[in-house]
Structures are given as structure tokens and as C-alpha cells.
A and B are shown apart, each in its own frame.
Chain A
Amino acid sequence: MKGLLLLWSLAPLAWQLYTSLVTPEALVSGSIGPTGSFWTLENYRQVWLADPPIWRYLLNSAVVGAATTALTLALAVPCAYGLQRQGGRLRWAVTLALLATAIFPTVLLFLALLQLARTLGLANNLLALSLPYAALCLPLAVLLLRAAFAELPPDLEDAARLEGLNLPQRLRHVLLPLLAPSLASTAILVFLFSWNEYPIALTWISRPELLTLPPAIARLAGSSLFTVPYGAFAAATVLGSLPLLLLVLIFQRSIVSGLTQGAIKG
């Protein structure tokens, strides 16, 4: 059963890897004559030296991802702390709003956000992209971090307050160090979302050298449905997936536990 599950999850990805490493002739015929070669790095060379090169998109996505993660955490930590300490109707209303926005399909926002970007001159600005991204990540981030705050022993903060620490000091020296695992898994999920977001990046960014990875890949796909250089595509998808692949494999524990723990307590 486990083998079947792995086959189902990984076979399409393995096929991409294979496609990226063989010559077009090998793809079409499945085998190759005595003169031709089967394995090649030509596809990678092609996307690495393209104009703009693929590393440019990876870099853009990394910049947006880092800015989004920083902004989201900066807003989500105080919000989660306030929400956890707040009782009554306000707590209920904010939680409900967070849940509603968390399940909302963000593509429906693209039209008005595009107009907002044009009005405020935020189009074609990578850092500005982190504003809507942070908003889209906030519901999940606040819900996860609120659950984490709820786990901390209540006496802890009282003791720190008696020691004379003010709120920023308590957060920085007492509470946040204890929340490090939850902060890390939240940060990874936010980065993941930012790396993958498509509709807003598609409508906010039009200059080729500023594209993030998803619209850049989609633009590649925009050529004809029939005669497309699938080897080069596959190389682009492998390179575009690699950073996330490493992230998921390295931090698998905190991603899985972050999501499951947050869901249990949230």
C-alpha cells in the first residue's frame, strides 16, 4: 500500500526529472540510434541561459517570499497574542473572520487588487507584492500562532510581568523563544504560499525580468499546445521545484506537525 502511495505521489514528478535529462529525439522515439546520445544537460543549459534566465525568476520568488514571510510574522504575532488574550464577542468575531478569509479563493480578488495596484503605483514592484500576499497568509498564520500561544503556561507571562518586563520585552525574551517551532512552521507555510501564488503575480507584474516563478512558467506554457519544447519545460519545472523540494524534505517534521498541531488546537 505504501509503495502504491509513493508511486502515485512521485511518478509524475519523476517523469518530469526524466524528461529534463534526455534529448528530444529520445523523448519522441523512446530509444535512440547508435550516433545520437540519450542523456543530456542541454535542456538545463537552455533555461539557465534564456532571456531572462530561470535563476532570475527563482531570485524574484525568493525575494517576494522573504519579504512576505517577514511582513506576515510581524503582523500575525501581535494579532495572535491579542486574539488569544481577548475574550467574548470580539474574539468570536475575529476568529470567524479569519476562518472565512482562510477558505476564501483568492483569485476572486484579482480584479479589484489590480486596480488598487494601478492606482497606488504598486504594479511591477516585487516588494509591493508582499502586501497582498501577507494578507492572504495572515488568516492561517494567526490561527496557527494563536493555537501556539494557547499552549504556553499562563503563569509564565504573569511571572515575567512581575519581574517588570513590558509587553515587547515579554514577547521577545520569554514568549517568542518558546514559540520558535511554531514560528518556524508558520514561516515555512507562508513562504510556500508566496512561492506558489499565481493570479495576483500574473496581474501585478508585467515586466519579464520581474516575473516570479509561477507566471514565468505559465508564460512558457503559453506557446502552442502541440509543438512545445517539453525538455526545456521539464528542466524549468525541476529547477523551480527544487528549492521547495529541499524545504519540504528538510523541514518535513515542522511542516506536518505545524499544520496538524495547529488544526487540532485551533
Chain B
Amino acid sequence: MTPSLLNALLMLPALLLLAIVFAWPLLDSAWLSSQASSVLTGLSPIANHGANWQRLLGDARFWQDAAVTLRFAVVSVGLELLLGLAMALLLHRPGRGRGWLRALTLLPWALPTTVLALGWRWIYNDPYGPLNAILRACGAAPYGFLTTPATTWLFTVLADVWKTTPFVALLLLAGLQSIPAELEESLVLEGASPGQILRRLTLPLLKPWISLALLFRLAQALGVFDLVQVLTRGGPAGSTESLALYAYLNAMRFLDFGYSATVVIATFLLLVVLTALGWLLLRRRALEPSR
């Protein structure tokens, strides 16, 4: 047996399972999006010649959810990168108890999202939650964190930032550890300030890690589901309903599998376009000569 054939055989079982669980569902959903399959058809698929896609184009709820999801993803990923960088720099500094500090800050990332979302619902509770207790102590009126349509999305962002920033920090910490300490020492000898070191040395060398964290978090945030499903159920007034939640509701509540598949594929396409765009943008930046 040639080495190449042996390698391929060793990889085959894993790749086969990946194909069944990733590639097949996408193909199946793409096909199903061209079919009517709902309670009206007895849940058996009947070709409906693009009617699902036509409906999608005119579906105000879909477009609102797309805007909600995009807003959520851009704002929370942006904040996560900024805070994650600060957190990584802090965790990178030598000092006593550094291992414990890393483990404890990692906890929000390690615990189940549904569990934490339920916890945040209590923190945001109006009027008994701790945030409203603080407001009351300051003499302010209690605030409906989860019942005010104009602002509730901000509090889903806050819960997401709290939960996933440690992951971003961990990735960037890996990047920091790959930077040779001598480089920083030589800049210190030249009399560079911490800000200059960050700008001239750390950030340029962290670029690949920042890109990786950005792509990963952007894709995950565009598929946000667990958090909004438990924290707000998409409310109030649909102001936090994500595309993934809409796809789920179409299948499991409205029992319209054909349209659910259409929303899934539309979300997938949006995801591919946006992450490709992000990647191209990052690559172009990386090719520019650094100062």
C-alpha cells in the first residue's frame, strides 16, 4: 500500500462523518428550499418552483431578523475583539496566580449558554434583579432590560460579550505567547512606551490571530441561537429574533419545513458572503506594508 493511500484510508472515517453531518444537511436543505413541505402538504415535499424564495424576498420578518442578526454580530464581535485583546494582555503579564486567573476568567466560556442565559434573565429581571436593585439604590426607576424593544438587543450583546470574550482572549493569548520576548525587550531598550510597543510590535504580529478570532466569532454570532432563544425568545416584539431562531420557529412551531430550509440556506449564503468579505479585507490589510 502506498503511504498516500494509507493516509487517505486513515482519514476516511472522520471525513465521512464530517460529510454526513456537514455537507449532506446543506445539500438537503438547499433541495428542500425548492419544495413545499408543511402541514398543508402533510409534511411531504412537493416541488413549488421557487415559491419559497419568492416569499423570502417579500418577507419583512426575514429582513428584520437579518438586520437584527447583523447588528448583533457586528457589535458583539467588535466589542469582544477589543475586550478580548485587553484581557489577553492582562492574562499574559507574569505574576502570582496567573494560572488561576486564566482558569477563572475562562469559566463564562466553559459553561453552557442556556444555563448562563437563564442566569442573565434573572440579573435583568424587572423589578427584582440585581441591576434594578442597583438602579433603585441610586434613586432611579426600575428599567425593563428585557421588555424595552428599543434597547433589549444591547443586553443580549452584553450577555454574549460576557460569555465569549474569554474565548477570544484565549486565542489572542496564544498569539502573544508566540511573540519572542527578546523583541519586546529590544524595543524597551530603545525607550519605546507601552503604547508604542503595542502599536509597532504586538498588534502587527497578532494580526493572524485577530483574523482567526474575527472569522470564527463572526460566523458563530451570525448563527446566534441558544442565547436569544433562552434569554428573550426573540422578543420583545421580535426585536431580538435572530435568523437561526426564525428558521427554528418555522420548522418546529409553524411546521413549515420547506420555508425553514429556505431561511437556513439564506442565512448560510449571508454567512459565506460576510466571512469571505471579512477574509478578503483582512488579507488586503495584511499585504499592505506595515509601518
Contacts and interface: CB of A to CB of B under 8 A. Distances in A.
17 contacts: A12-B123, A105-B222, A105-B244, A108-B25, A110-B251, A111-B29, A116-B24, A196-B111, A198-B229, A199-B225, A244-B112, A248-B110, A252-B99, A252-B103, A252-B106, A256-B99, A256-B173
A235 to B, nearest CB: 11
Interface of A: 1-2, 5-6, 8-10, 12-13, 15-16, 19, 27-28, 30, 75-76, 78-79, 81-83, 85-86, 90, 94, 97-98, 101-116, 131-132, 134-136, 138-139, 142, 167, 192, 195-196, 198-199, 203, 213-215, 217-218, 220-221, 225, 230, 233-234, 237, 240-241, 244-245, 247-249, 252-253, 255-256, 259-261, 263-264
A85 B24 contact: no
B79 interface: no
Interface stretch (B2-10, B58-66, B187-195): B2-10
- Interface residues of chain B: helix, strand, loop or mixed (majority): helix
Contacts of A82: 6-11
Interface in B130-181: 130, 133, 146, 162, 166, 170-171, 173-175, 177-178
A1 B99 CA distance: 16
Contact of B114 (A2, A85, A102, A214): A214
B14 A263 contact: no
Interface in B9-28: 9-11, 13-15, 17-18, 20-22, 24-26, 28
Nearest to B29: A112
Contacts of B264: 108, 111
Interface stretch (B47-55, B196-204, B212-220, B283-291): B212-220
B10 A79 contact: yes
Contacts of A248: 103, 106-107, 110
A6 B114 contact: no
B125 A230 contact: yes
Nearest 9 A/B pairs, CB to CB: A105-B223, A112-B25, A252-B103, A82-B10, A135-B21, A260-B174, A79-B14, A82-B7, A263-B174
Nearest to B170: A259
Contact of B103 (A104, A215, A249): A249
A114 B114 contact: no
Contact of B112 (A6, A110, A240, A263): A240
Contacts of B128: 27-28, 230
> B interface, how many residues as a size bin?
35 or more
Interface of A is mostly: helix
B254 interface: no
B284 to A, nearest CB: 20
A248 B109 CA distance: 10
A15 B219 contact: no
B215 A221 contact: no
A90 B4 CA distance: 9
A15 B264 CA distance: 37
B162 to A, nearest CB: 7
Contacts of A113: 21, 25
A86 B4 contact: yes
A259 B115 contact: no
Contacts of B101: 2, 5-6
B81 interface: no
